[in-house]
Amino acid sequence: MKYIKIFMLLIFTILNSSCAKAASKKDANNTAHKERTTIDQSGLTQQKITNNLYVLKNPNYNTNVGVFIGKDAILLIDPMTGNNNQKQLLNAIKQLSKKPIKYVINTHHHMDHSGANRFFKKLGATIISQENAKYSNALYDITFKDSYSLDMGNENIKLYHSTAHTFDDILVYFENNNAVFMGDTFMTNSFPHFYYGGGGLGHLNIIDKALSLGNVHTVIIPAHGKLASNKKELSVYRENSVQWISSIKSLFNEGKTSEEIAENVQIKKLSTIFNNGRNVSKQSIQRTINKTISVDLVVSKDLSEKTLKNYEGIYEYENGQVDEIIYQNKKLLFRSKGKYIYEITPLSEIKFHIKGQFPNKYLVFKNSGNEFEFFNGKKNLIAKRK
């Protein structure tokens, strides 16, 4: 009888311990779930991805900000929560960790992602961008061409470049924390924006790269919209992007105008899906279609590599601004440091369309290619070869 009581006591103790552990795990999961939708003391929306990785957002500003807490320092991704809101963001970061901010990564140069670079640089942060950010007004310190790695002590962060939304897009991959920040190459509340850089093909290529990283459980962080997503939703976004691109191409090749394409039932349906169920104006749809046509569907003239290379060089305007035309990866690029970078495609032997721009912009070469006339959408500017 004595041994039976001891045995029963052991069973009770084991069961009680197991229940306690299960309850503790359940509480931890509930806590994590609650943390996913909290608003911190600074007023920013916060989502916890892991113990070291967070996404923050100002409810009045649409950019998702990444905060990674490394072994000794903090890394930020696109830390822009609105003009004059940098201190609010800094206070929110300090609630997560008191460690110094060592790095800022820009997924691309647009100001809603890079606008707080100067603020964090003054605090000691180093700004990391893809090298084509040099052709923008964004502040940068370190640049790279194709890939880059950062060791944060508890995580080796991989950066991958692909031309898609812009010429300086970066995917930020946290291998141990199993998350990818995609910048504007993935948004859950807007049309796909691929006309500033790589066109439809570049858009699909960078999505495929993101889908190849990690595993089925990898967290996907869009630039705008939801604070966090997943590969299933990204795959659906890719499918919708393919339908969007192919539908516009098919209708355009039938001779439809952008206004007529905007009235198409399939186009309207996709517009609503991309914009998170919101009905968007016909003007907004048409504007996006025009840019899609400009980057992907303008018929170009087939010129030899030798002919295209003849236009390479440095050109100077009357005001002293300098532009460069360079042949790279079988394409002509038109760029100016601190200002812009475009791909140009020939409409004739002397006239070149600037891809992705609407209203349309173009270059016309004169004097045997020793000068060009640049129509920037408003006026004509003359630049001469140096």
pLDDT of residue 36: 55
What are the b/e assignments for 370-383, b being 16+ CB within 10 Å? eebebeeeeeebeb
pLDDT of residue 37: 53
Domains and CATH numbers, the chain: 31-228 (3.60.15.10), 244-296 (no CATH), 305-385 (2.40.128.210)
pLDDT of residue 22: 38
Query: Do the beta carbons of residue 261 and residue 250 sit within 8 Å?
Result: no
Q: Is the pLDDT of residue 20 over 70?
A: no
**What's the whole-number mean pLDDT along residues 175-202?**
96
pLDDT digits (tens, 9 = 90+) for 153-179: 999 999 999 999 999 999 999 999 999
What does the mean pLDDT of the chain come to?
91
Q: What is the C-alpha R_g of the chain?
A: 25
241 burial via Cβ count (<10 Å: 0-12, 13-18, 19+):
buried
**What's the whole-number mean pLDDT along residues 110-137?**
97
